[in-house]
Structure 1
Amino acid sequence: MRLLITVAFIFIAFAKAYSQDITGVWKTVDEESGIVKSHVEIFENDGKYYGKVLKVLDPEAPEKPLCISCDGDLKDAPIEGLVIINDLEAKDKVYKNGTVLDPENGKSYDCKIWLNEDNPDLLMVRGYILFLYRTQTWVRLK
């Protein structure tokens, strides 16, 4: 009986290690310079996933950066606290059917995200229009 319980605990530990989800805080990194630009928290609410900018770290950004290029209610909204990922739905290992806002240009794109298969501490974030897309790699903040 003890062996069965021990095996069950080991199985649960491995399952948790390999089934990490996307929630948590992620570092966004500029692909060209390698500079960390921000921290984004991904969270779940009513079965959908969202991403909120916690902190802008870009050394070239103003002290209190605003979404100058955004439209409507988001026009001149503070980027810190801004929800930039909206309404993602979990479909197997991919989260999709949502949008991502680029605060630098104020545009929203269709979005899907997934964990890197080889490293669950890397999040692949893809914004796209039709068949044109760009994928960024975000790093889990530990």
Structure 2
Amino acid sequence: MLKSILLAVSTLCFAGHSFAEDISGIWQQIDDKSGAAKAIISIQQDDNNSYTGKIIKVTPRPGYTPQKTCNKCPAPYTNQPILGMEIIKGLKHIKGTNNYEKGRIIDPLSGKMYDAKIRLNSTGKRLTIRASIGVSVLGRNQTWIRLD
């Protein structure tokens, strides 16, 4: 009886702390400045257990002509088409958390490369991307919403 009670209590204690450990899927990128949808990104886990993200659709916005290529990007991204571009590389899951770190993300509109950290919310429906150069405090956040 005591074992049953302890098992029930421990189950209740950890029920709210489950970790959705996989960010693989289709995500809608939301612009942190305008709040508008920007692109649809497919995130996949690689053979080495890191995650990569590729632009699979540029979201049309009124009054905005999408840029076709990554003009200001460093090699190997220089003049690469934005549609199909791999913008996230090397992201690693931090075991026992909803956090992913040690990745790199490129902004194809500015050509800037950033260190990337991602946090998956508890429902598994939203990502908060923290992009920074050097010190995380000096970076910016962006929210992505799961579409699949």
5+ residue gaps, structure 1, are 1-10
RMSD: 2.2
Question: For residues 33-84 of structure 1, what are the alpha-carbon distances to aligned partners after superposition, in whole Å with 9 as ceiling and x for unaligned?
Answer: 332110000100121100000011142133x611111122311110011000
Q: Matched residues, percent identical? A: 37
Larger RCO (alpha carbons 8 Å, 6+ apart): 2
Aligned to 1:135, which of 124, 136, 141? 141
Paired position in structure 2 for 1:74: 77
Whole-angstrom CA distance in 1 between matches of 2:76 and 2:120: 31
How many pairs does the alignment contain?
Answer: 127
Paired position in structure 1 for 2:32: 31
TM-score normalised by the chain length of structure 2: 0.76
5+ residue gaps, structure 2, are 1-10
Structure with greater strand share of residues: 1
Aligned to 1:90, which of 81, 93, 97? 93
- Contact 1:35-1:58 at 8 Å conserved across structures: no
Letter in 2 for 1:22: I
Whole-angstrom CA distance in 2 between matches of 1:77 and 1:114: 28
Letter in 1 for 2:142: Q
- Contact 1:110-1:127 at 8 Å conserved across structures: yes
